[in-house]
A and B are shown apart, each in its own frame.
Chain A
């Protein structure tokens, strides 16, 4: 699915990631952890082409990300669902239209997708809040809306950046359940988090691999978690 090969990234002020290699196999579930500022978000951005590696190669769906033009990049983004740390909504549109945004921009007929959209809203528990504006939502509601938006095009890969960062334990469990369900449906999942208890909770239910960034390197964390 997504493959990083000897990838280094340099913000200009020094190396953030150095010779990182990782493979996200279809249907796998990965956690990415590490201290704040270690480069978790950067690594995720490299995976979906929002950043280009300083050296090394990133391949997504067997295409070199570096060789993609802007339109091809847009098509790649439709195949990778991303839940951003700060969600990124269009604040002037209600939740339901924000969730449907990927359908809209990819030219799908919205009327055909109406039942799917309702089902998805129901799945993330936002049916009641469908017509609220994003700024009116709570942290957990925003994260669930972002998750719904990331999966609406039925992508093969879902990348989530600290999806449980701003929510309480109960809500983070709920989000984890949604991600686990998606994984059971065959989606490849990559979740960046610093919440070790979340990782532990997940490990009881899924064969999750934990990647840790430390000292600019990516390591496979042991079973000690």
Chain B
């Protein structure tokens, strides 16, 4: 498309626009549907970005954190803990290793047992919090060494429950992308139907224009411009409302777990602004296709 044609499409030719009679009802429907689709797209996009973020975060945090549990008779517990800490300090790739205090362990159990239970009197295993360095440590090697030297130790590097969580977050992101594609496809289908309806409703106008020597491109442009601008403005309104909706959602918090923080962060707020542009492009392509097909079928 040449620059002149593009300018004409955007600015329009007020005379040429009047050639096709205004169509109030379908215009409002197009605006409404593209707005609604854009609104949904904003949420799908927020979901995809948030789940992507969660997946990455979980994958890296959980990969580095591990727990060492020391199940030993009370009299040996302190000695075994000390031995395990010593081994951990010598293990390359372990950044920190710290035995949890009695109070910390009590806090961890409080949600299940309540705070009134004298946790200190229970034969609880000792927990050691292990944080790995970036390249990480050799979990299998560490396990073998612990087995030999600290018989009561069990290393839990969280892989067991990390993998399904990360998988879940990743499939959530995939689903969100599929939703965005479906929304785009549904928008294209809707605009095609609306454009076909408009072309059919204006068959007489098209006939008169052909009779006085209008090129197909001239006739098509009148329709394409309308639908493109309608989709653009409808989607812009939908995106604005959707972004307000996302903005009003609660901030990420520890209490809310992963259900909060489903919004955009930083530059991410700019991404939904692409939706109206994409909506307009989809409308442009759909109307062009519908108009070319329909005009080609006329005599």
Residues of A within 8 A of B (CB): 50-51, 70-71, 74-78, 82, 84, 88-90, 92-93, 97, 101-102, 104-107, 110, 149, 153
B16 contacts A77, C-beta separation under 8 Å: no
Asked if A74 meets B210 with Cβ closer than 8 Å, knowing A50-B299, A90-B19, the reply is yes
Hey, which chain A residues are within 8 Å of B16, CB to CB?
A: 104
Indicate whether B213 reaches chain A with its CB closer than 8 angstroms: yes
Task: Looking at the assembled complex, report how far the CB atom of B257 sits from the nearest CB atom of chain A, in whole angstroms.
Answer: 60
Hey, which chain A residues are within 8 Å of B207, CB to CB?
A: 88
Residues of B within 8 A of A (CB): 15-16, 18-19, 21-22, 205, 207-218, 295-296, 299
Cα distance A82–B210 in the bound complex, in angstroms: 12
A77 contacts B212, C-beta separation under 8 Å: yes
B216 contacts A97, C-beta separation under 8 Å: no
B215 contacts A71, C-beta separation under 8 Å: yes
Return 14 A-B CB contacts under 8 Å, by A number: A50-B211, A70-B215, A70-B296, A74-B210, A74-B213, A74-B216, A77-B213, A84-B211, A88-B211, A90-B21, A92-B18, A92-B21, A104-B15, A153-B213
B215 contacts A77, C-beta separation under 8 Å: no
Determine the residue in chain A with the shortest Cβ distance to B217.
A71
Hey, which chain B residues are within 8 Å of A84, CB to CB?
A: 211
A105 contacts B299, C-beta separation under 8 Å: no
User: Could you say which of B15, B205, B211, B213 contacts A75, with CB atoms under 8 Å apart?
Assistant: B213
Cα distance A110–B18 in the bound complex, in angstroms: 14
Chain B's interface: helix, strand, loop or mixed, by majority?
Answer: helix
B209 contacts A105, C-beta separation under 8 Å: yes
Determine the residue in chain B with the shortest Cβ distance to A101.
B212
Hey, which chain B residues are within 8 Å of A90, CB to CB?
A: 19, 21, 205, 208
Hey, which chain B residues are within 8 Å of A82, CB to CB?
A: 211
Hey, which chain B residues are within 8 Å of A78, CB to CB?
A: 212-213
Hey, which chain A residues are within 8 Å of B299, CB to CB?
A: 50-51
Cα distance A92–B23 in the bound complex, in angstroms: 12
A105 contacts B213, C-beta separation under 8 Å: yes
Q: A50-B299, A106-B213 are in contact. List 13 more A-B contacts (CB 8 A).
A: A70-B296, A74-B214, A74-B215, A74-B216, A84-B211, A88-B211, A92-B21, A92-B22, A101-B212, A104-B19, A106-B214, A149-B212, A153-B213
A93 contacts B19, C-beta separation under 8 Å: yes
Hey, which chain A residues are within 8 Å of B205, CB to CB?
A: 90
Cα distance A90–B205 in the bound complex, in angstroms: 6
Task: Looking at the assembled complex, report how far the CB atom of A163 sits from the nearest CB atom of chain B, in whole angstroms.
Answer: 15
Hey, which chain B residues are within 8 Å of A88, CB to CB?
A: 207-208, 211
Task: Looking at the assembled complex, report how far the CB atom of B261 sits from the nearest CB atom of chain A, in whole angstroms.
Answer: 53
Cα distance A105–B206 in the bound complex, in angstroms: 12
Determine the residue in chain A with the shortest Cβ distance to B22.
A92
Determine the residue in chain A with the shortest Cβ distance to B13.
A104
Hey, which chain A residues are within 8 Å of B215, CB to CB?
A: 70-71, 74, 105
A77 contacts B208, C-beta separation under 8 Å: no
A71 contacts B211, C-beta separation under 8 Å: no
Cα distance A93–B209 in the bound complex, in angstroms: 13
B213 contacts A71, C-beta separation under 8 Å: no
Q: Which of A82, A90, A106 has the most CB of B within 10 A?
A: A90
Hey, which chain A residues are within 8 Å of B217, CB to CB?
A: 71
Hey, which chain A residues are within 8 Å of B296, CB to CB?
A: 70
Cα distance A38–B118 in the bound complex, in angstroms: 111
Task: Looking at the assembled complex, report how far the CB atom of B109 sits from the nearest CB atom of chain A, in whole angstroms.
Answer: 78
Hey, which chain A residues are within 8 Å of B214, CB to CB?
A: 74, 105-106
A110 contacts B15, C-beta separation under 8 Å: yes
A102 contacts B19, C-beta separation under 8 Å: no
Task: Looking at the assembled complex, report how far the CB atom of A92 sits from the nearest CB atom of chain B, in whole angstroms.
Answer: 4
Cα distance A102–B210 in the bound complex, in angstroms: 10
* A-B residue pairs, 7 tightest by C-beta: A105-B214, A78-B213, A77-B213, A92-B21, A102-B212, A74-B215, A88-B208
Hey, which chain B residues are within 8 Å of A149, CB to CB?
A: 212
Task: Looking at the assembled complex, report how far the CB atom of A215 sits from the nearest CB atom of chain B, in whole angstroms.
Answer: 27
User: Could you say which of A71, A77, A89, A93 contacts B18, with CB atoms under 8 Å apart?
Assistant: A93
Cα distance A104–B208 in the bound complex, in angstroms: 13
Cα distance A200–B15 in the bound complex, in angstroms: 43
User: Could you say which of B18, B22, B218, B295 contacts A105, with CB atoms under 8 Å apart?
Assistant: B218
Hey, which chain B residues are within 8 Å of A105, CB to CB?
A: 19, 209, 212-215, 218
B216 contacts A70, C-beta separation under 8 Å: yes
Hey, which chain A residues are within 8 Å of B18, CB to CB?
A: 92-93, 97
Q: Which of A77, A104, A105 has the most CB of B within 10 A?
A: A105
Hey, which chain B residues are within 8 Å of A76, CB to CB?
A: 213
Task: Looking at the assembled complex, report how far the CB atom of A96 sits from the nearest CB atom of chain B, in whole angstroms.
Answer: 12
